[in-house]
Amino acid sequence: MKTKFLLMAFAATLFLNSCTSSDDEDVIVTPPLGSGEIGGQATANKTFVKGNYTLSGVYKIKAGVTITFDAGSIITADVTNGTDAIVVENGGKLIMNGTAAEPIVCTEKSKVAGSWGGIIMYGDAPIVGAAGVATATAEDGLTNDANTAYTYGGTNAAHNGGTLRYVRVEYAGKKITDGTSEMNGFSFYSVGSGTILENLVSYKGADDGYEFYGGTVSAKNLISYGNSDDSFDWQDGWRGQNNTNWYAYQTGTGNFGMEIEAKSVNNSFWPVIDNITLKRAAGTITEGGSSAAEYDAIQFKKQGNGVFSNILIAGYTTAGATAVRIQDNATNTDQISSGKVKLLNVQINDGTSQSAGAVGVIVNFAPSNYTLGTTAGATITPGAWTVVDGVNLLQ
């Protein structure tokens, strides 16, 4: 009988041990990181899993092709191998769905501004080019398969070039060809309203942080930090209607916070942006030196217009600088006096003057079109996506 009880106890022990073994525990398996070189033409759909990739040359996403990068991916260009850029041709799609905790970072090995071309997207949404033409030639200096410059413009207002969420572009703004053809951090050529642009960072580039060349796309939660030309720039009748939370910090070298023009065409439409912060660090000079007079927070020229609300401006206190400058009489007459430019709830925390005109331009906003306030600026939630080298860009 004693032997029987011992056998039963031994069996019970084996049963309990089997129930608590590691075989029944949840085992977390970390998937391997992707790696490899990216370049040439993307002619078939592809997903790049989270990983570290090297950009070699101009990576062209062709029409009908969708390229996807997983959250947390890092794409590194190298100035020593020539001109690098990520180009989405009209009809192609780039899907970069990063997260606040795991942004997708597009950077450059040397960490020198102007080392590569950033992200460039082409579409066929409407533009209004010089003299009212419906198409124009890109200014980035790149060429298509026919070895001619890219053109942009069309009639497809709902063009969809993909999704960019929680994406950071660093050290872009390369000059190629004749030395004056320039690429920005993000360049959007006639991009349409079907494209999603949210939670983007353009960091320490040698040209504009963001430039919109016509089109109908809108953008939310944009950060332009330390770019040596303009933080935000547009032309060709860009008309995005749902823009919010734009934040710019100019430091070291920088021109206008926002440079606004429309190719000298008096359009009956304009972009709408709310919640804007434009800040300039003390000692920041312009690209041409402090005497170049490109140091205003917002500049309107060549019939530039728009409706802007909840604007915080600080640091534009260099002698002669102003919060809002109107550069020519045509813009002053057709856009300011006619009410096509509205600046509502503007908050200025320092000695920056409210507005001024270029020589010979007398600016008179209607009282309802330029209003002051005390609670303004971008409201952006920080996270890993806003931190570079341990520095929170929003601070």
E strand or H helix at 325: strand 324-326
In sequence order, the 6+-apart residues with CB closer than 8 A to the CB of 334 are: 266, 303, 340
Number of domains in the chain: 1
Residue 26 lies in a domain: no
Residue 368, phi then psi, degrees to nearest 5 = -80, -10
Residue 5 lies in a domain: no
Q: How many CB atoms lie within 10 A of CB 369?
A: 17
> In this predicted structure, which of 90-99, 112-121, 283-292, 304-313 has the lowest mean pLDDT?
283-292
Q: How many CB atoms lie within 10 A of CB 330?
A: 15
44: tokens are 């078939």
101: tokens are 């905790």
pLDDT at 198: 98
Closest listed residue to residue 202, CA positions, set 281, 119, 320, 145: 119
pLDDT digits (tens, 9 = 90+) for 133-186: 999 999 999 999 999 999 999 999 999 999 999 999 999 999 886 667 889 999
Mean pLDDT in the chain?
Answer: 92
Q: How many CB atoms lie within 10 A of CB 354?
A: 15
CA distance 107 to 115: 9
Q: How many CB atoms lie within 10 A of CB 113?
A: 21
Residue 7 lies in a domain: no
Residue 182 lies in a domain: yes
Report which of residues 57 and 4 the model is more confident about: 57
Residue 327 lies in a domain: yes
DSSP-based three-state secondary structure for 357: strand
Residue 47, phi then psi, degrees to nearest 5 = -115, 125
Determine what percent of the chain is predicted with pLDDT higher than 90. 84
Residue 283 lies in a domain: yes
Residue 135 lies in a domain: yes
Residue range(s) defining the domain that contains residue 254: 34-389
Q: Is the pLDDT of residue 2 over 80?
A: no
CA distance 179 to 26: 58
Q: What is the largest CA-CA distance in the chain?
A: 114
In sequence order, the 6+-apart residues with CB closer than 8 A to the CB of 31 are: 49, 50
CA distance 91 to 110: 33
Number of H helices, E strands in the chain: 2, 32
DSSP-based three-state secondary structure for 384: helix
Residue 23 lies in a domain: no
